[in-house]
Amino acid sequence: MRLLTLAIFLAILAITLMITYWAARKTRTTSEFYAAGGTLSARANGFALAGDWMSAAAFLGFSGLVSLYGMDGSLYAVAALAAFLVVLMVVAEPVRNTGRFTFGDVIAERMKRPSARLAAIIGTIVVNVAYMVPQMAGAGALIKLMLGVPYDVAVTLVGIGMIVYVLFGGMIATTWVQIVKAVLLLVAALVLVLLLLAAVRFDPLALFASVEKMYGAKMLAPGGYFKHPLDTLSLFMSFIFGVAGLPHIMTRFYTVPDAKTARNSVLWLMFLAGSFFMVTTLIGFASAIFVGQDAIRAADKGGNLALPLLAQYLGGGPGSLAGQIFLACICAIAFAAILAVVAGLTLASSGAIAHDLYVNVIRRGAVSEAGQVRVARIATLAVGVIAVALGLLAQGINVGVLVILAISVAASANFPIIVLSIFWRRFNSAGVMGGMTAGLVSSVTLAFIGPAFMGHHALFPIVNPAVASMPIGFFGAWLCTMLSRRSPTQDDDFDAFFVRAQTGLVRERVQPPTLRDHA
């Protein structure tokens, strides 16, 4: 039976590798490596964005939380659906109009200071690595279930796969792998929901009634996972503002030709990802009923394997051929999803290291096209090794929790400086460094001393720290800005940046009169 699982797994992997080979032949310039040449349509980029956001870590983690803790887990899916409203209305167009390849480009375009770009580099790498760890943990658990290999071997295989995708195919390969896996995930979710609805005679209310009968009314009420009154508010703050600060999401807006296409990409994303995350609650409750919480915890104490185990049950059970085939398909699709997401994260991280740090800070732009791509590929190797090392440490932690912690860091460190750069005239490089430092330190510290990592011994009572750390990030940005000296050209610099951010047009700057003009 394991040979059948391996065959399905290798078939899907072969498809993605063929895409990588095709993309490698088209990837020559830095624009093609980082941004697919900026030629994607709104629909293609929308599917790729959906592929980026519909990570298997979120899919597995959210449904796992619902299966173990009830309705509190479903709040993760609801918050994910609302998150892109801020991206659509605030971030997408200015980022597309003022950047080129990375989040750091936007900050540097406004501030014109290497120190500001350096702060953006730190925010990009920390958030991307934090987001990458749960993907690696989810992949390790999946491959261990599928192929019976040890967790550390599974995580290493994922690391090798993502390095291959990015190293040879760049953004073109990453985009099309994300599109393929988005379609596969949507089809898999549809089949799974139809099967579980058929099991309850297409009566969703019967599903909820069965949950209440087996586990009590507490599964349908808040408080199963979130213990503090501010936990729900903090969760929504993390998602709604954190997604707008995710560097790998921002990078996707450079793959389209203009701001209008970027906005339309987000609309496609909201429709696709919204449909996807709406079903995680049904899947989680069905897993609790048909598989059982004890079996889910026995397979993975974080609940990450609830969905694959449900697929196996609905396919006929562990002993049936159909059950094994369905389980293998779900696991292989989820593995492809993880590879696509970590490839996007790796690409954004290597862009921060190569394009922002090496090319623009260290070499001040004096690097050839070939040299930039070569450095980006070296950075890809380094990021891949770090991701594997951290993934090995994340075994047993629910990946949905890790995802939201990464988003909390983005909400606290990246979102304040991006929104203040776009809309606050007085904001400056000192504010960028202050906001990034305050948001990053506070969010990471509060996360590690919170319930997600310390359990009942937590020193900070709230699972997601954004409710405290995001205001700290904004305060740090404001304080450092007000304590620093105002630049004489700051107003004109902001006017030029603001016009470009909102319209895509370059405002001509009025030069001050000289003695020659008066003469």
For the chain, the structural domain boundaries read: 2-398
**Helix, strand, coil distribution of the chain in percent, nearest 5:** 80, 0, 20
Tell me the backbone φ, ψ of residue 47, rounded to 5 degrees: -65, -40
- In tens, the pLDDT along 238-268 reads 888 988 888 888 888 888 998 889 889 988 9
* Angle of CA points 8, 390, 138, to nearest 5°: 30
Percent of the chain beyond pLDDT 90? 14
| Structure tokens, 288 | 């609790």
Q: What is the pLDDT of residue 285?
A: 92
Angle of helix 2-24 versus helix 114-147 axis, rounded to 10:
150
- In tens, the pLDDT along 172-200 reads 888 888 888 888 888 888 888 898 888 88
Task: Could you please state the CATH topology (level 3) that the domain comprising 2-398 is classified under.
Answer: Sodium/glucose cotransporter (1.20.1730)
* Angle of CA points 405, 341, 179, to nearest 5°: 135
Rg over alpha carbons for the chain, rounded to the nearest Å, is 23
Of 259, 296, 208, 222, the C-alpha closest to 106 is: 259
Q: How far apart are CA 346 and CA 64, in angstroms?
A: 26
Q: Which helix (H) or strand (E) holds 232?
A: helix 231-242
pLDDT band at 506 (very low <50, low <70, confident <90, very high): low
Q: How far apart are CA 26 and CA 463, in angstroms?
A: 44
Mean pLDDT of the chain: 83
Whether 258 and 107 have beta carbons less than 8 Å apart is answered as no
Q: What is the mean pLDDT of residues 366-393?
A: 83
Q: How far apart are CA 53 and CA 42, in angstroms?
A: 16
Percent of the chain beyond pLDDT 70? 94
- In tens, the pLDDT along 437-446 reads 999 999 989 9
- E-state strands within 410-459: none
Whether 276 and 337 have beta carbons less than 8 Å apart is answered as no
